[in-house]
Chains A and B, each alone.
Chain A
Amino acid sequence: MARLHVMERSQAQVVMDGLHEAVGKRLAVSSLAPCPVEFTAAFVGMCAIQSCGKCTPCRVGLGVLKELMEDVLAGRGDEHTLELIERTARTIYLSSDCAIGYEAGEMALTAIRGFRDDFEYHIAHKACGFVQSQRVPCVSGCPAGVDIPGYIALVEAGRNTDAVRLIRKDNPLPLVCGLVCEHPCEMYCRRGMVDDPMNIRGIKRFATDHMESDYTPSHADPTGKRVAVIGGGPAGLSAAYYLALMGHKPTIFEARRKLGGMLRYGIPAYRLPRERLDSEIQWLVDQGIKVHLDTPVTDLESLRRDYDAVYIAIGAHSDNKLGLEGEDAEGVISAVQMLRSIGDDELPDFTGKRVCVVGGGNVAMDCARSAVRCGAEKVTIVYRRRVADMTAQDEEIVGAKEEGCELLELHAPLRIATDDNRVSGLVVQPQIIGGPKWGRPAPRNAQADEVCVPCERVIVAIGQKIDSDAFAAQGVVTNRGKIVTDSLGSIEGFEGVFSGGDCQTGPATVIRAINAGKVAAANIDHYLGFDHRIEANVEIPDVQFKGKVSCARCELKFREAVERKDDFDEIEDGFTSEEAVQEASRCLRCDHFGFGAFRGGRFTQW
Chain B
Amino acid sequence: MRGARRRRPPRIRPQSLGLALAIALFAADASAARADGLTRAIDYLTIAANEGGSSGGHAAIRFGDETYHFQHDDLGLVRSTREDSREFLAAYAVLQNRSMHVGRIAVSEETYGALRDAFNERFLAQTRDLERLESLRRDRDLLSALVAARDRRAEGPLVSVPAAGFFLADASDERPTEGGAARESPALARLRDRVARERGAAFLSERRAALARDLASGGADAGELPRPGSIAARYLDRFAGVLALDALERALPLRANAYRAPGDGSFALADDERAWIARFADDLEASLARLAASERPGWSRALIVGMARLAALRESLDSNRLVVLDAYPANPLRLDRAAIGRQRDLLPELVLEARDDLATARASLPQAERPREADWTRVETAANRVLELERAASFGDELRVAPHALVPSRPARRKAAIVPDLAAEKLARALAATNDALRAAEDDLRARAGYGLVARNCVTEIWRVVDETLGGEAVVSLGGRLAPGERLTFIPIVSGAAVSAELRVVAEEDVPSYRALRLAALAERDGDLPTRLRESTTFSSTISPRPGERDSFFVFFTDGLAAVRPVLGAANLAAAVGASVAGVAVAPVDGGRLLWRGLRGAFFSAPELAFVAIRKGSFDFVPRRDRPEPETLDPLLALAR
Do A and B belong to a common assembly?
Answer: no
Task: Show the binding face of A for B, using Cβ within 8 Å.
Answer: none
